[in-house]
Amino acid sequence: MAKPIMAKATAVWLVDNTTLSFVQIAAFCGLHELEVQGIADGDVAVGVKGFDPIANNQLTQDEITKAEADPMSRLALKFNPAASGEEKRRGPRYTPLSKRQDRPNSILWLVKFHPELADAQITKLVGTTKPTIQAIRERTHWNINNMQPIDPVALGLCKQSELDAAVQKAAAKRAAEGNAMSDDERRKLLSTEQSLGMDAEPRIPTAISGLEAFTLGNNSDDEKEAPLPDADSFFNLPDSDDDKD
């Protein structure tokens, strides 16, 4: 059910100027019955000026009179033809002025490390426009040479949970389309919690692995190990000239 604008101020006016019950006012304004009772007692909405729903074309006097005569009746918001078809516009996310200069860097980070994200997802995450994203993807942005990729979460442009949700959605869409992904891409599409929970892959440094191959290659069966010197030979030292005298 549609609610009136300035619902609490409308409730204040109805409490002060009508004999409607708390239940009727609460149902019309989208408030709780106890909250309307608090308005009547002066404990809620202190200092709020009443908003006349009749003068503002939200109710008719006949509707109020009818509801006052029947406690079971409910007020109906007046139909406004001018508001028909009007919907809340959903534009890009608002970005504070102090952080707008960092927004291209965050777009570059998303394009570089999450190329699977659609332009619409990046627009929703950091609050930008598709032409800007396209320019950064094609490296035709006017400031591309001075830009550095920075995580938008670190910049405070979006939450980690929002980024993870967008990445998971991109992964599901890509899987549904049947596109193959490499191991690195699969790891990149995991959420932060899943990535941190994975076991680290054992890797042998290249220097050690090469040394191991070199050692194994030189120890052939044809070669014989040199005999170890006898321990007693270290103590059977030749006599010095003083001992001979």
Residue 68 and residue 125 in one domain: no
Average pLDDT over residues 197-204: 50
User: Is 200 exposed, middle or buried (CB count within 10 Å of its CB: 0-12, 13-18, 19+)?
Assistant: exposed
Distance CA 88, CA 114 (A): 30
* pLDDT of 38 higher than 70: yes
What pLDDT does residue 216 have?
47
Q: How big is the chain by its Cα radius of gyration, in Å?
A: 38
* pLDDT of 204 higher than 50: no
Residues spanned by the domain of 73: 7-82
Which of 55, 82, 109 terminates a domain? The answer is: 82
Residue 118 and residue 168 in one domain: yes
User: What pLDDT band is residue 208 in, cutting at 50, 70 and 90?
Assistant: very low
Residue 76 and residue 120 in one domain: no
Residue 61 and residue 124 in one domain: no
* pLDDT of 104 higher than 70: yes
Residue 103 and residue 63 in one domain: no
Residue 72 and residue 137 in one domain: no
Average pLDDT over residues 205-233: 52
Residue 57 lies in a domain: yes
Average pLDDT over the chain reads 76
Which of 159, 179, 194 terminates a domain? The answer is: 194
The model's pTM is 0.40
User: What pLDDT band is residue 5 in, cutting at 50, 70 and 90?
Assistant: confident
Residue 77 and residue 129 in one domain: no
Q: What is the pLDDT of residues 131-156, one digit of tens each?
A: 999 999 999 999 999 999 999 888 88
* pLDDT of 71 higher than 80: yes
Listed as own residue / partner, the contacts of 16-23 with beta carbons closer than 8 Å and 24 or more positions apart are 16/50, 17/50, 18/64, 18/68, 19/68, 20/64, 20/67, 20/68, 20/75, 21/71, 23/71
Distance CA 244, CA 229 (A): 27
What pLDDT does residue 181 have?
53
Say which DSSP state 117 is in: S
Residue 243 lies in a domain: no
Which of 82, 109, 144 terminates a domain? The answer is: 82
What pLDDT does residue 86 have?
46
Residue 18 and residue 106 in one domain: no
Residue 105 and residue 77 in one domain: no
Instruction: Please report which helix (H) or strand (E) contains residue 214, including its range.
Output: helix 206-218
